[in-house]
Amino acid sequence: MNSLTHIDKQKLERELGMQSGYVLDFSNRTFEEFFSEVVDVQIYDHAFDCGSGSKANRMRAFWKIATNKQLILLFRGLQEGWEIYSNTPISDKSQKLLQSILSKLGDSPSDYGANQQSNTDTISLELSQQLSSKLFEVTSLQPQKRGFEFEKFLRQLFNAYDLSARASFRLVGEQIDGSFVVNNDTYLLEAKWQNSPTGVADLHTFEGKLGEKASWSRGLFVSSSGFSSEGLHAFGRGKRTICMDGFDISEMLRLKLSFVKIMEAKARRAAETGSPFVSVRDLFT
């Protein structure tokens, strides 16, 4: 039995727009991915059919049987991802409701901060070797498979550091390759696996996607083949995009460096110099 009351549910239904059978602007695919990645629940299991099997009914069924811990994961995820899964920004009213319910469920901001701090720890040698092997496997695939498997590898990498990674999702007219959270900052992901270094056109396209999102969102552009010096120069300074190449990832795994520390160092260098790309080797050696 969880701590969610009937009144809580009625307020949530109103804020999430569930009267029409939907939940925010989730599609069937993003709804399934959200629950799988964030809550570790298969929401399209028969246990959540609840009559019509609509997204709203599945959410209602989940509220009935979820534990407080599962509900905390759900509402934290909605707070962090509202801008991604809704066409309108989160209102103060919705934000206060979610925070109030989280507090009632026993979610402690101090505990959350402690969990986030633990993300800076390095991963084990065994896990580092597993990820290195997976990256090598991606390298050996046929070109048409590499892009998808590279995104999958990056999601596994982010999850190794407990960064609330999410799979790729499609918004109207655009594709986002995923997202993750570092120290409460949400990063959208662009992943490229190609033979030649990434140029300015791809960088500007991704920066344009960020410009359509919340002002506090950031971007990580991962290019397996790196970035052309001309492209980085033409891209300019003062952007919200941080860049990482395949060699950065290899060095991180080889040296068992913290991904969180790397992102903090890259973000700080970008703030100090305006440069979107500084290699891990230059940052840590």
Q: Is 50 helix (H, G, I), strand (E, B) or coil?
A: coil
CA–CA separation, 252 and 248 (whole Å): 6
Closest CA to 24 of 36, 11, 14: 14
Closest CA to 32 of 24, 43, 20, 45: 43
pLDDT for residue 54: 94
CA–CA separation, 56 and 64 (whole Å): 13
Q: Which residue has the tokens 């925070």?
A: 99
Q: Is 78 helix (H, G, I), strand (E, B) or coil?
A: helix
- Do residues 85 and 25 make contact, with C-beta atoms less than 8 angstroms apart? yes
Residues 114-118 have a mean pLDDT of 43
State phi, psi for 21 to the nearest 5 degrees.
Answer: 100, -10
The angle subtended at Cα 41 by Cα 39 and Cα 47, nearest 5°, is: 140
Name the residue with higher pLDDT: 139 or 112. Answer: 139
> Tokens for 75?
């509402």
User: HSE of 77 in the Cβ direction (CA atoms, 13 Å)?
Assistant: 22
Highest mean pLDDT (candidates 43-52, 125-134, 206-215, 243-252): 243-252
Residues 237-253 have a mean pLDDT of 92
* CA distances (Å), origin 123, targets 47, 179, 257, 258: 36, 20, 8, 7
Question: Is the pTM here over 0.75, yes or no?
Answer: no
> Tokens for 208?
């344009």
Question: Does residue 244 register a pLDDT over 80?
Answer: yes
pLDDT for residue 119: 44
Sequence length of the chain is 285
Q: Which fold has domain 119-284?
A: Trna Endonuclease; Chain: A, domain 1 (3.40.1350)
Residues 58-74 have a mean pLDDT of 92
Residue 108 pLDDT level (bands cut at 50, 70, 90): low
